Structure 1
Amino acid sequence: MKKLLLFVCTLCWLLPPAQAQTGTYKGIGTIVFEAGAPLSLIKGTSESANGLINLETGKFSFDVPITSFQFLNSLMQERFNDKYMKSSRYHKATFVGRIIDKGPVSAKGEAKVTAAGILTIHGVARKRTIEGTLVQKGNNWQLITAFPVELSDHHIQAPRLSSGYGASTMNVSLRMPLSPTDPDPQQIVAVKKFGFR
């Protein structure tokens, strides 16, 4: 019995990290938001979105620094930070919650997921349910999602476009590569339990 126990312990020690993951993945991705017609487009891009997701429990946390958004027009960027988002006071936008539904992984390695949580923008928190896709790439995943944000829901003044109309809705898209974190010696579990393998 002691020899068997010793053999099992040795086998676990020799397992490669990919087989001893906690199911937790993290990444840095790109968020783009835009509003308005093509001739009067408001568009900001950030490559500093941070994400952490546990594929076993479904829990996740995402955030993006407001000042990280870049615009083609420097005046638009200044107004975005000072007038509309007040980024000196509200430093980040966050989405924290849990995956509540998942589809099977397709032959292409794609799985549809539905996440529910609290989206906080401009200091105002709102319950949101957002759909997305997880794409498997070897031991990594990529999260892809797109969703609208009503500015009035977060008490953000609607910017006036050159056409004279206010942009009341921002369309947000996110692409984020996710890589496994270092294994936790206290919790060695397979991602299989979450149904992704």
Structure 2
Amino acid sequence: MKKLLLLLTCLYWNCQDGAAQSGIYKGIGTVVFEAGVPLSLIKGTSEAAKGTIDLESGKFRFDVPITSFRFLNSLMHERFNDKYMQSHRFQKATFTGQIIEKKPSGTNGETKVTAVGLLTIHGVSKKRTITGLITQDAGSNWQLASDFAVELEDHHIKVPQLSSGYGANTMQVSLQMPLKPVGSAVPQIADAKKLSLK
């Protein structure tokens, strides 16, 4: 009986160490998109974006529920979900893929990363290359930031007609996300700084 308890204890601690040192980071962040011009701007904000990055393999996944976007007024929110995004059918936007390149961006601990993957919006997947910045925040926590454009036609989204008479063909998207290591113990900072994402 004592041997069994000892074996179970060892297995438990080994599993805990493995989870902590897996190099997997997760976070919940903010996505903001803007379309149009200042006088007829369509702007949505979601604070429910979820992300996972494996620093060992470089694989990642980000997703945001479409209905989590908030607007200046309820009519804009209704039109966005029903008319343009059909969120009852296409509930999430996702970006999954692999980080293929990393290089220092400055002296403040920033690392520029280049990711290739499938961006799926409105049920339509498009291969994209998107760049971002990962900055060490506190301890072994990181901050991810990225700005990129999305062409609405690429995802078969009806182009909103603005009050100026022109259509908003492009969305400018901004992502801000804190990332924390998965597991009860903190991975070695020196290992995290290597950003061995290939």
The answer to whether the 8 Å contact 2:102/2:195 transfers is: no
Q: TM-score, normalised by structure 1?
A: 0.84
Output the aligned Cα RMSD.
Answer: 2.7
Q: How far is the alpha carbon of 1:192 from its aligned partner?
A: 2.4
Kindly tell me: are residues 36 and 105 of structure 1, through their superposed partners in 2, closer, same or farther at Cα, counting changes over 3 Å?
closer
Query: Percent same amino acid at aligned positions?
Result: 64
Matched with 1:144 is 145
Runs of 5+ in structure 1 lacking a partner? 1-9
Q: How far is the alpha carbon of 1:196 from its aligned partner?
A: 3.2
Matches within 5 A, 1:96-107: 96-104=96-104, 106-107=106-107
Q: How far is the alpha carbon of 1:49 from its aligned partner?
A: 0.1
Matched with 1:195 is 194
Q: Which runs of 4+ in 1 moved over 6 A?
A: 188-191
Matched with 1:44 is 44
SS in 2 for 1:64: strand
Aligned length: 181
Matched with 2:157 is 156
User: Is 1:130 matched up with 2:130?
Assistant: yes
Distance 2:89 2:35 in 1: 24
Kindly tell me: are residues 99 and 183 of structure 1, through their superposed partners in 2, closer, same or farther at Cα, counting changes over 3 Å?
farther
Q: Which amino acid aligns with 1:92?
A: K
Q: Which amino acid aligns with 1:173?
A: S
Matched with 2:7 is none
SS in 2 for 1:103: strand
Matched with 1:182 is 183
The answer to whether the 8 Å contact 2:140/2:189 transfers is: no
Matched with 2:3 is none
The answer to whether the 8 Å contact 1:117/1:128 transfers is: yes
SS in 2 for 1:170: strand
Q: Which amino acid aligns with 1:118?
A: L
**How far does the alpha carbon of each residue in 1:5-30 deviate from its partner, in whole angstroms, 9 at most, with x for none?**
xxxxx9xx7xx97xx52110000000
Distance 2:192 2:165 in 1: 53
After superposing the two structures, state which structure 1 stretch, 102-111 or 121-130, moved more.
102-111
Q: Which amino acid aligns with 2:53?
A: I
Matches within 5 A, 1:25-104: 25-104=25-104
**How far does the alpha carbon of each residue in 1:133-155 deviate from its partner, in whole angstroms, 9 at most, with x for none?**
00111210110000000000000
SS in 1 for 2:61: strand
Matched with 1:165 is 166
Runs of 5+ in structure 2 lacking a partner? 1-9
SS in 2 for 1:39: helix
Q: TM-score, normalised by structure 2?
A: 0.84
The answer to whether the 8 Å contact 2:117/2:127 transfers is: yes
Q: How far is the alpha carbon of 1:193 from its aligned partner?
A: 7.6
Distance 1:27 1:79 in 2: 29
Matched with 2:113 is 113
The answer to whether the 8 Å contact 2:23/2:192 transfers is: no
Matched with 2:4 is none
